[in-house]
Each structure stands twice: as structure tokens, then as C-alpha cells.
């Protein structure tokens, strides 16, 4: 190729020749070189029958990415900070797996809500920490679309038997987050409710119900998450415990209208 058509590697990130509208590639000897981008590549991907399955997979993957970004954005307000580094790719993989269970549509036309959305539960927002392993309270959830509310009922329980807490923690509280998601318009509503402080000893914790308002008569899926926060009480003052290991959050229910 002539000097006007290609660039070559002369050292660390040192190039000679024209590099506009060029693409980088690696030669067999390990060196990098530049060559002109070919408009035929994009055209072939878009129209060549040999790329049909790749195009269909790309369409499903794009839908999965769009759905996972909506879920991530909806719960951002209560998501532990350390979860953010790998949350999007993990959610995307899960959404893609759920879309594969859609038996109504072929590849490229699959929809998340036509798949088995029960696979969302339980999804831990922090990959290296399991909410269920640390919080084993047997709660009941409910969604009343007509009244416009979602609830989690916590029974009486012994905190030290069902909650694994940091050594200095004296109390904890649960946070219920509820997101109503529209995957077509990519819009959502989000609200949350905190439990009363729970003393971390052998004293039975009283039953309580967490309630969050949702748009009345909504036809959109309702996603419910639970997280836990720990505090240390000292002389009547509550100090948050910021140990990342114990900042846990999980999707605990997904309610999709029939």
C-alpha cells in the first residue's frame, strides 16, 4: 500500500503517514498498523445473510442492555456504592438469560416480560455478598395495584438468630425500595420505606409492615428490593457502620400483571 493509504508503527504510539479515517489492526509479528476503514464492512454486517444470526443476537443484546440500565437507574438511590462497578454487566447477562426463556418470539424479537421474570429473584446487587445468607427473616410481600401500594410484612423474630451483623453493630434497619418500570418508554417511578430500628440482641423484634405507594392501577411490572443498614449506638447517638462487606441489597420480588 502507498504511504497515503496506511500508517505504520515506528515506536511506542509513534505513527507516520495519514491516519484519518483509518482503523488499527495487529499484524502477525505483533506490531500494530493502520489501514483505511472499509464502508463495505458495515454494509456487509447490515445486509449479508451470513451475518443474520449475529444481527439477531445483537438486537436481543441491545434490548437486554436497555432493560438493565433502566433497572440500575431506578434503584440507584439505594444501591450500595461498591455494587456499581459490575452491576450493569451482571444485570445485562441476567436480562439476556430471561429473554432467552421467551417462548413466544424468535431470536431478535424476544421481550424481557415474555420470559420467566421469576429468574430476577433473588438478584444480589453486590456480587460478593449474599443478602439471603446474612438476613434470613421470613417476610411476605404483596402488591395491590388498585389501591396503589406494595408491602412487605416482617414477622416477630429473634434478631441474633436471623441476622449476621458487624461486630460493633447494635441496631439495624431494613429499607424497602419499589420501582415501577416501563421498558418501552424507559421511564420509572421509585419510592422507599425504612423499617423501625431493630435491636440486635435476643429480644424479639416486633412485627412491622413496610409500605410504599405506587401509581394506582398501573399495568407496569413492579420490582421490589430490600437492603440492610447497620448502626452503632453510643450514648444515645446512632453512628452508621460503613463496612462495605455488610452493605447488602437484593431484588426480592417482581410482580408482572397477567
Residues 85-120 pLDDT 10s: 889 999 999 999 999 999 999 988 999 999 999 999
Residue 2 has pLDDT above 50, yes or no: no
> Would 53 be classed as within a structural domain?
yes
Question: Which of 223, 218, 196, 216 is closest to 207 using CA atoms?
Answer: 196
> Would 231 be classed as within a structural domain?
yes
pLDDT tier for residue 3 given thresholds of 50, 70 and 90: very low
In this predicted structure, what is the pLDDT of residue 54?
78
Between 4 and 41, the higher pLDDT residue? 41
Question: Which of 26, 30, 22 is closest to 6 using CA atoms?
Answer: 22
Whether residue 94 is found in the same domain as residue 193? no
Using CA atoms, how far apart are residues 157 and 33, in angstroms rounded to an integer?
66
> Would 84 be classed as within a structural domain?
yes
Express each pLDDT in 10-27 by its tens digit: 555 555 555 556 666 567
Cis peptide before 132 (omega within 30 of 0): no
Between 240 and 34, the higher pLDDT residue? 240
Backbone angles phi, psi at 10, to 5 degrees: -110, -5
In this predicted structure, what is the pLDDT of residue 1?
47
Whether residue 33 is found in the same domain as residue 52? no
In this predicted structure, what is the pLDDT of residue 89?
93
The SS3 call for residue 201 is: coil
Backbone angles phi, psi at 257, to 5 degrees: -65, 145
Whether residue 173 is found in the same domain as residue 208? yes
Q: Looking at the 3D structure of the chain, how many domains does it have?
A: 3
> Would 26 be classed as within a structural domain?
yes
> Would 81 be classed as within a structural domain?
yes
In this predicted structure, what is the pLDDT of residue 156?
97
Range of the domain at 55: 48-116
Whether residue 135 is found in the same domain as residue 218? yes
* pLDDT averaged over every residue in the chain: 87
In this predicted structure, what is the pLDDT of residue 83?
80
Whether residue 231 is found in the same domain as residue 135? yes
State the virtual CA torsion across 165, 166, 167, 169 in degrees, nearest 10: -80
The SS3 call for residue 173 is: strand
pTM for this model (two decimals):
0.80
Using CA atoms, how far apart are residues 131 and 125, in angstroms rounded to an integer?
9
> Would 43 be classed as within a structural domain?
no
pLDDT tier for residue 51 given thresholds of 50, 70 and 90: low
Whether residue 65 is found in the same domain as residue 172? no
> Would 211 be classed as within a structural domain?
yes
Whether residue 135 is found in the same domain as residue 243? yes
In this predicted structure, what is the pLDDT of residue 35?
67
β-partners of residue 249 are 227
In this predicted structure, what is the pLDDT of residue 183?
96
The beta strands (E) that lie in the chain are given as: 6-11, 14-16, 22-26, 32-36, 123-124, 140-144, 149-154, 171-182, 187-194, 198-199, 208-213, 222-234, 237-240, 248-255
Amino acid at each position: 500500500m502507498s504511504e497515503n493509504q496506511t500508517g505504520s508503527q515506528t515506536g511506542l504510539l509513534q505513527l507516520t503517514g495519514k491516519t484519518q479515517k483509518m482503523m488499527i489492526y495487529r499484524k502477525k509479528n505483533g506490531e500494530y498498523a493502520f489501514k483505511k476503514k472499509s464502508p463495505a464492512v458495515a454494509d456487509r454486517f447490515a445486509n449479508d445473510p451470513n451475518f443474520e444470526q449475529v444481527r439477531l443476537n445483537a438486537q436481543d443484546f441491545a434490548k437486554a442492555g436497555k432493560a438493565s440500565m433502566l433497572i440500575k437507574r431506578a434503584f440507584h438511590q439505594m444501591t450500595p456504592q461498591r455494587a456499581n462497578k459490575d452491576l450493569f454487566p451482571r444485570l445485562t447477562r441476567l436480562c439476556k438469560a430471561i429473554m432467552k426463556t421467551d417462548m413466544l418470539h424468535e431470536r431478535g424479537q424476544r421481550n424481557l416480560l415474555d420470559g420467566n421474570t421469576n429468574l430476577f429473584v433473588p438478584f444480589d446487587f453486590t456480587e460478593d455478598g449474599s443478602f439471603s445468607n446474612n438476613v434470613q427473616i421470613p417476610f411476605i410481600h404483596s402488591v395491590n395495584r388498585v389501591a396503589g401500594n406494595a408491602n412487605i410484612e416482617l414477622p416477630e423474630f429473634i434478631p441474633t438468630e436471623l441476622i449476621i451483623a458487624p461486630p460493633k453493630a447494635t441496631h439495624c434497619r431494613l429499607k424497602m425500595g419499589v420501582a415501577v418500570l416501563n421498558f418501552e418508554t424507559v421511564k420509572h417511578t421509585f419510592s422507599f420505606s425504612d423499617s423501625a430500628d431493630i435491636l440486635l440482641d435476643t429480644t424479639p423484634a416486633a412485627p412491622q409492615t413496610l409500605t410504599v405507594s405506587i401509581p394506582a392501577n398501573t399495568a407496569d411490572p413492579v420490582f421490589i428490593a430490600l437492603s440492610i443498614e447497620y448502626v452503632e449506638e453510643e450514648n444515645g447517638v446512632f453512628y452508621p457502620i460503613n463496612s462495605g462487606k455488610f452493605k447488602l441489597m437484593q431484588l426480592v420480588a417482581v410482580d408482572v400483571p397477567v
